[in-house]
Amino acid sequence: MSTESRKKDRIFFSFKEDTAGTPDTTCFFEGNGEMTPPESEYQFESNYGKLGSGEHGKGSELQAVWTPFSYKCKRLSEIAYFMSFFQGKSYTPGSVGSGEQHEFLPLPVSSRVLPTFSFQYGIGGNSENIVFSGCVINEFNITLAAGGNGIIDATFSGWGNKHRLNEGLFILNADGSMNTGTYDITSEPYINFKCCHFYKADSADYIRENSATFTGDNLGANVVDISTLVNSITMTGNNGMTAEDKARAGGCGIINDWQRGDRQYTLELNMRKDIQNGIVTNTLIQTNKKLAIECLFEGKIIGSTDPYAMDWIFPVVQCNSGAEDDGSPISKTIPFSVFQDSIGIAMECFAQTKVEVAYNGIKV
Amino acid sequence: MALDRIGIATSFANMLKADTSTLYGSNKLLQIIDPNPVNFSNAKVNAKRAQYGLYLWVNDETTNVCRSQNTDEIFTINMRFEAIEMDILAAITNIDHAYERVKLLANTQMWNGLILSQYYSDSNAQIINIDVLASGFPPPKKNENSIIVTEIESAIQIEINRWR
């Protein structure tokens, strides 16, 4: 029986890999959420005629190895960090007061190679730790809901390389020792549903780099605050990749392709009907009419006036559900189709934290 | 002040005491806000002078989530609003307003995200949620000194995150 607690295991994230697939030895911050212990997955290929099969030593059929992981964020900076890697394009943070602003935009069509990062799993600062390099974020799932303790459920998942091939043998990455985290995010707030605002508008006007404010709405004409009518909001994103495709032949059986596929977002609201005041979802969010949605978290104050903040904006969404029963039930789930706006952006994301957490954030 | 039982009760009481505009003061809804349960059990009052008090203490503590580096712990603050007042209707009205004010303060603290942070100092823990739980309002009764006591019992749940 083991006498060691799993509590010894910690997670350290790097801020950016200088060379994709090569692990950073410089840690960015220590995670405070929950990670499913990563396990390697192996893919065997017996077709010797297939490109790449049999490359790994004599008679080997091993085609690929990768390590999927899933991380459940607990802190605002963690969500911002992973969102920057999911979106793929992150601007150098700008300072405002005592906070740092981040803008996470999707990669342009002409450049689809996602940034990669490393993380270390173990007891920290120890050569026996396991480093996973070449990690990409393929999916996220965020649910904000009333009830319970109101803390959101934000999970990011993807995969990376645990193994490095050396003369036909798979070994652990040699460098298993990151420095300790530079940024301490332990005192940062959780995102709580009680601190979130929801807005809808006819459109999102010029919500681009540096244009977001972190208090109040950032939408265009005819903004309506629907915070009190929202029971829950669920958003997901997928970069359209599969590990099987990315662990291609010719790459020594490890992940060597970080190009995203066609990105997809989904958005779903559960709305409370306010029959007494004549507010029903059909009049508020009209079926088959395009609108913009914003979800803004305003947390505690970083400094004098700057709050911890996270802002998701969907510039063009459309409700596709049919007619509703005006008398019952008292709530309604509304799935949206998420479209790209005129310059190809389907979701924009902004954050304001105390530290610089974007993947190209400046490590101090 | 660390976020332990007495620290949570005291910091919450201090937050309520800071509301001198409505809740706490000589001419306000409450004259006593005390995180001392002994004061609660041995309250000595002058029956000729109306007096309103709030006594609170941390009753329950459970560890909600235990992670590799941090835990979520839920503390329940039990609250007893007490009115020593011959005019029962005035007593009912007053402590009910006091209770509503406490509810408002608790919810507003959460909404603004300030989260009680100026009333405690703990390098390894922070309050992450405040929830107002149910209240009970039993009929007024005489205590052992034949003084009519009107009281509301309620509870507020405070969730904290504690790390290494």
Range with lowest mean pLDDT among A195-199, A234-238, A278-282, A357-361: A278-282
Under the banding of pLDDT at 50, 70 and 90, the label for residue A54 is: very low
Inter-chain touch B68–A7, beta carbons under 8 Å: yes
Do residues B23 and B30 touch, judged by C-beta distance below 8 A? yes
Min Cα–Cα distance to chain A from B103, Å? 14
Closest Cα in chain B, distance from residue A36 (Å): 11
> Can you give the pLDDT at residue A123?
73
Backbone angles phi and psi of B52, in degrees to 5: -120, 130
Q: Identify the bridge partners of residue A311 per DSSP, sorted by sequence position.
A: A296, A350
Contact at CB, B115 and A194, closer than 8 angstroms: no
Residue count of chain B: 164
3-state helix, strand, coil in chain B (%, to 5): 30, 40, 30
Among B64, B161, B163, B164, the strongest candidate for a mutation testing the A interface, having the largest count of A CBs within 10 A, is B161
Do A253 and A65 form a contact (C-beta atoms < 8 A)?
yes
Q: Is the pLDDT of residue A125 over 70?
A: no
Asked if the model's pLDDT at residue A186 lies above 80, the reply is no
* CB atoms A301 and B70 under 8 Å: no
CATH number of B5-163: 3.30.2000.30
Q: State yes or no: pLDDT of A185 exceeds 90.
A: no
CA A195 to chain CA centroid, Å, is: 20
Q: Is A313 helix (H, G, I), strand (E, B) or coil?
A: strand
Radius of gyration of chain A (CA): 22
Residue A2 to residue A213: CA distance in whole angstroms: 51
Size of interface A-B (CB pairs under 8 A): 59
Nearest by CB: A300 against B115, B124, B163: B115
As a whole-number percent, the residues of chain B with pLDDT over 90 amount to 34
Q: Residue A98: what pLDDT?
A: 81
Give the pLDDT mean for A95-102: 84
Q: What percent of chain A has pLDDT over 70?
A: 78
Q: What is the largest CA-CA distance in chain B?
A: 57
Note whether A190 contacts B128, CB cutoff 8 Å: yes
> Once rounded to an integer, what is the mean pLDDT over residues A71-81?
90
Specify the DSSP class assigned to residue A237.
Answer: E
State the average pLDDT for chain B: 84
Judge if the upstream peptide bond of residue A307 is cis by omega within 30 degrees of 0: no
Winning range, highest mean pLDDT, from A172-176, B108-112, B125-129? B125-129
Contact residues for A348 (Cβ-Cβ < 8 A; gap 6+): A103, A104, A105, A204, A207, A208, A212, A312, A313, A315
Closest CA to A107 of A13, A239, A248, A296: A239
Tokens 């007053």 correspond to: B94
ipTM of the shown complex? 0.70
Domain boundaries, chain B: 5-163
Asked if A34's CB is within 8 angstroms of B67's CB, the reply is yes
8 A C-beta contact, residue A182 and residue A164: no
Written as one letter, the residue type at A137 is: I
Highest-scoring range by mean pLDDT, A6-15, A240-249, A271-280, B73-82: B73-82
**Could you identify the residue written with the tokens 């006819």?**
A202
pLDDT-above-90 percentage for chain A? 20
Q: What Cα–Cα distance (Å) separates residue A237 from each residue in A35, A141, A267, A334, A338?
A: 19, 7, 9, 17, 10
CA–CA dist B84, B141 (Å, integer): 11
Tokens of A154: 């934000």
A55 has a pLDDT exceeding 60: no
pLDDT at A134: 86
Choose the most confident range, by mean pLDDT, from A117-121, B44-48, B73-77.
B73-77
Q: What would the mean pLDDT of A349-358 be, rounded to a whole number?
A: 87
Q: Which amino acid is it at A219?
A: L
Give the pLDDT score at B47. 52
Q: Who wins on pLDDT, A173 or B4?
A: B4
B67, B107, B113: residue with CB nearest A301: B113
Q: Does B104 touch chain A (CB under 8 A)?
A: no
Structure confidence at residue B98 (pLDDT) = 95
Q: What is the structure's pLDDT at A332?
A: 83
pLDDT for residue B135: 92
**Which residues of chain B does A195 touch, with a Cβ-Cβ cutoff of 8 Å?**
110-111, 113
Lowest mean pLDDT among A60-69, A107-116, B29-38, B67-76: A60-69
